[in-house]
Amino acid sequence: MSRAFVAAFLFLFSSAAFAADGGDPTATGKAVAAAKAWLAQVDQGAYAASWEAAATPFKAAVTPEQWETSMKSVRAPLGAVVVRKMKSAKFTTTLPGAPDGNYVVITYRTGFAAKKRAVETVTPLLDADGAWHVAGYFIK
């Protein structure tokens, strides 16, 4: 995995252990729906569109060119998604190294064509426009 990719997004990622239980189930559902739509763009290789759809802090942390380069070097080699199953979705208002806000830390067990077992962490944020947008993405 590219060190630049990890460094650019490390502040937005957190283990589910940092996430608080609870939160508004409706909000969590909306965050999960936003994550699914965003992941569909990433799965299709529409990296520019996924950057456009991302949260404000995400866009401030990385340029569209950096994002595309990172995705082409990290995500594309994994191949197509064979299976993706949500493992957890936890609402939190704090993440290490990130400003306070409304976040949902979502983890998926994902199998790719070239990597049978992976864990994807997608972290939507309730952004200034009142909608949920992905603020962080990590594959382990």
How many Å apart are CA 95 and CA 91, to the nearest integer?
11
Spatial neighbors of 70 by CB under 8 A, at least 6 apart, are 2, 4, 5, 8, 62
Helices assigned H by DSSP within 10-131? 25-43, 47-53, 56-61, 64-74
pLDDT higher than 80, residue 75:
yes
3-state helix, strand, coil in the chain (%, to 5): 40, 30, 30
Report helix, strand or coil for 52: helix
Q: Are 70 and 2 in contact (CB under 8 A)?
A: yes
- The yes or no reply on domain 3-139 and CATH 3.10.450.100 is yes
The predicted model gives 7-31 an average pLDDT of 53
CA distances 95 to 5, 43, 52, 53, 58, Å, are 18, 26, 23, 21, 14
What's the pTM? 0.83
Q: What is the pLDDT of residue 26?
A: 75
pLDDT higher than 50, residue 21:
no
Tell which wins on pLDDT, 118 or 23: 118
Write down the domain spans for the chain: 3-139
Q: What are phi and psi of 43, to 5 degrees?
A: -60, -30
pLDDT above 90 coverage of the chain, percent: 78
pLDDT band at 134 (very low <50, low <70, confident <90, very high): very high
The predicted model gives 115-119 an average pLDDT of 97
Q: What is the pLDDT of residue 24?
A: 66
